[in-house]
Structure 1
């Protein structure tokens, strides 16, 4: 009996000793479960963004454009113009700019479409040597496949091949959807601008304390100001780059230099990838235009030099250190949003990064993440109101 009591006493002591050691295990399990839920939630958000892009893309564009043009609206309102009239002026001006750009591109694009067979023939002539090498490799692969494949004469399967629609057919079928999204974006932009500061007033009303109200307005206005300044400055820089590239293409004897200028302006809104695509297109057109390879590559070299000067000198000088972003983060963000929203995703990727970084600057617990998004040398830039708390 005494041994049994002693054993029970020993087991109870052991259980009391092991209970504290179980606490870290339970904590780790709870932490793992928490991060698993967070990961699943993020995956669901990404899936929703990708699945609902036909709706979310024009909404995102409308909100970004409203943030960009809000200072213009306030300027017009200070001139005693109502919000509805100011919004109508802004949207009408934007429609005129879009129409001007499309009319500028219409003639060069039509001429390129008409000359597509000739361009294809010239490209085939230029790349005939490469085609011969590739054909030899393909033929060798077919021979190896025939040697290693098992012949089955008893069964003959009839293959049915379907011809996919051409590029022009795909473009024609996508035009109505594109026009609908553009119209939706412009209408949403008008309503957002015409509402004035209504959303800021609603934001103030839902905040519980005066400090929260002040911080919310401060963060909102700072995001609007920085995003507007960034996009306005980048637009001017890209316009200057487009003019420089258009003039250089004209001096080098390239066809349709205006088209190259407009494309350079549009491509440069996509960091890194836009410049690569522009250089590749310029090199291809140069090879089709000139007979000598060295002369044919001069336009692409000029395009590359101008984009490097813009990226390394002009943009850092005019944009400033405070809005410079981590190049790796920019590249990954552009790739992610391109996967989610295609071309529009690439256009809005950097703007979203600027908004996220500005928000992080005002939240002490997120300032480390904001520094991670910033470029080297701009980690210590914090707003004066760094005491802002959530």
Structure 2
């Protein structure tokens, strides 16, 4: 994207001083990440069952809580919740097994019909668009001629080793024990995983409070109240989300089951259950679930009616649930950025295979929730969450420092849709200027770069004024004269003050820096002004530097008061005797409006 850059900012950007090297310290996070990734990969046989147990406990926690509210003890509540989950798993497995067995019997016939349909479609494509294929291949007969020539050369070539006797090596037949091992051992792996998940889930549900207390002790007990509230809130949010998503996906699978049954697609229960399970996979899960029913529809119906009906079923049901039912149940956002969902799906699939793809969304959401409440996990909320990584003021400062005017204007347009102009000036622009001033005070940025930042922000203000101009004509009228100081950001502060006063239908004008003190035009503006605002980002040192200008303006103007600008550091109480520096533009605006409305001069503390 071509972006408009401020010439001053572009020339000043290289003056940012880089920090000195700190040896291997920057590599420590990467080393830790590599160790954790290796542990997740090589320990997947143990970590996958534990992760499934944790997610299952989150799913069953609301059910256990509901039984407890019905005055059941903990043990009966946990047992009933587990029996419900096991019953659902057994029923689901039985349906999948029966439907898959029925489908397997007719699978060869379906495969043959699909191959015939594909061949027919290919023939139709060649019939209607064959001229394109011929032009692309450079002639349809060239390949056939080349293939025939090569086959003739192979047939005419003399055979080597004509007297060799072929030898066939056959393996010894398997014993009964080997056949049992070949059948039983693969079936034991999922059963073993299911038993581990079940046992760990039971312990988590029974020892929920004890595990929470141990986690609090591990994180430290310095702020026990806050940590307890954070963990309870995070656990409740995760439980509600997982239960809501499980119910929604079950409903999606039931609708697909009923729809495919009415359309006459074989084994509708199998495809309905798979659709509900695959919907846990973000973005591509529903697409993968639709492949099987679409293929069967193409195999059964010689026409295109059933195929189009199945496709329309998925196209209508998924947006209805995704954009209407899910936002109603658990909000419009899962708290994850779209990029993080894709990256997390790729990462967990690489680490744990297809099961990692199913678990990617719940695991990522769990990490983000922990990051929002626990400082030790804050990096996950920053990297994976949907909240902005920088505050609005920090974002504006970064755009201005890089000279990206277009991005800064786009940010202003977005923010002004939700906040008034005065708040944007005080909270965002003034905040960005104070960040830049703090960097300048620390010596990490040269003064030339600050001029580039000010120039970029001035272009943003000009763009805002072009959209929000109120058309106040202050020529020939008495009003407020705003004089910028000598600092790089003082002109920005003065421009914002003029814009705010004009939006209040008050006459205000900005004295350009080109008009020197003592000139004829400057004296004329001072004579007409009812109020003079000496504006900029000031601290005690800057206020001392502008004291001569302050005294000169106060002596030569006919204004009832002279108001000084805003503080360089928010909340800094330091002021020069006889001058007051306001905390924000709202203070300058209120004082100026009071004077121009005839409330009398502003009291200036000594």
TM category (shorter chain) comes to 0.7 to 0.9
Task: Could you tell me which runs of 5 or more consecutive residues in structure 1 were left unpaired when the two chains were aligned.
Answer: 1-22, 163-168, 381-390
Is the alpha carbon distance of 1:217 and 1:322 closer, same or farther for their aligned partners in structure 2, counting shifts above 3 Å? farther
**Match in the other structure for 2:438:** none
Matches within 5 A, 1:1-390: 27-30=20-23, 33-129=24-120, 143=147, 174-206=186-218, 208-211=220-223, 213-321=224-332, 323-363=334-374, 370=381, 373-375=384-386
Task: Could you tell me which runs of 5 or more consecutive residues in structure 2 were left unpaired when the two chains were aligned.
Answer: 1-16, 127-139, 152-156, 171-180, 392-606
Q: Whole-Å Cα distance in 1 between the matches of residues 18 and 385 of structure 2?
A: 36
Using the size of structure 1 for normalisation, the TM-score is 0.75
String of CA shifts for 1:14-62, please: whole Å, max 9, x gaps: xxxxxxxxx978x3252xx233332233122222212221111111111
Is the alpha carbon distance of 1:145 and 1:200 closer, same or farther for their aligned partners in structure 2, counting shifts above 3 Å? farther
In 2, are the aligned partners of 1:222 and 1:358 still within 8 Å (CA)?
no
**Aligned-residue offset at 1:268:** 0.9
In 1, are the aligned partners of 2:326 and 2:332 still within 8 Å (CA)?
no
Which one has more relative contact order, counting CA pairs under 8 Å at least 6 apart? 1
Is the alpha carbon distance of 1:37 and 1:361 closer, same or farther for their aligned partners in structure 2, counting shifts above 3 Å? closer
Q: Whole-Å Cα distance in 2 between the matches of residues 222 and 128 of structure 1?
A: 58
SS in 2 for 1:321: coil
- The range that moved more, 293-302 or 182-191, is 293-302
**Cα RMSD (Å):** 4.0
In 1, are the aligned partners of 2:230 and 2:374 still within 8 Å (CA)?
no
Q: Whole-Å Cα distance in 1 between the matches of residues 167 and 366 of structure 2?
A: 53
SS in 1 for 2:362: helix
String of CA shifts for 1:246-288, please: whole Å, max 9, x gaps: 2222232222322222222111111112111012222111111
In 1, are the aligned partners of 2:298 and 2:304 still within 8 Å (CA)?
yes
Is the radius of gyration larger for structure 1 or structure 2?
2
Q: Whole-Å Cα distance in 2 between the matches of residues 365 and 199 of structure 1?
A: 18
> Which protein has the bigger helix share?
1
**Aligned-residue offset at 1:111:** 0.7
Q: Whole-Å Cα distance in 2 between the matches of residues 130 and 43 of structure 1?
A: 49
Aligned length: 344
SS in 1 for 2:85: helix
SS in 2 for 1:271: coil
Is the alpha carbon distance of 1:177 and 1:145 closer, same or farther for their aligned partners in structure 2, counting shifts above 3 Å? farther
SS in 2 for 1:197: helix
Is the alpha carbon distance of 1:378 and 1:99 closer, same or farther for their aligned partners in structure 2, counting shifts above 3 Å? farther
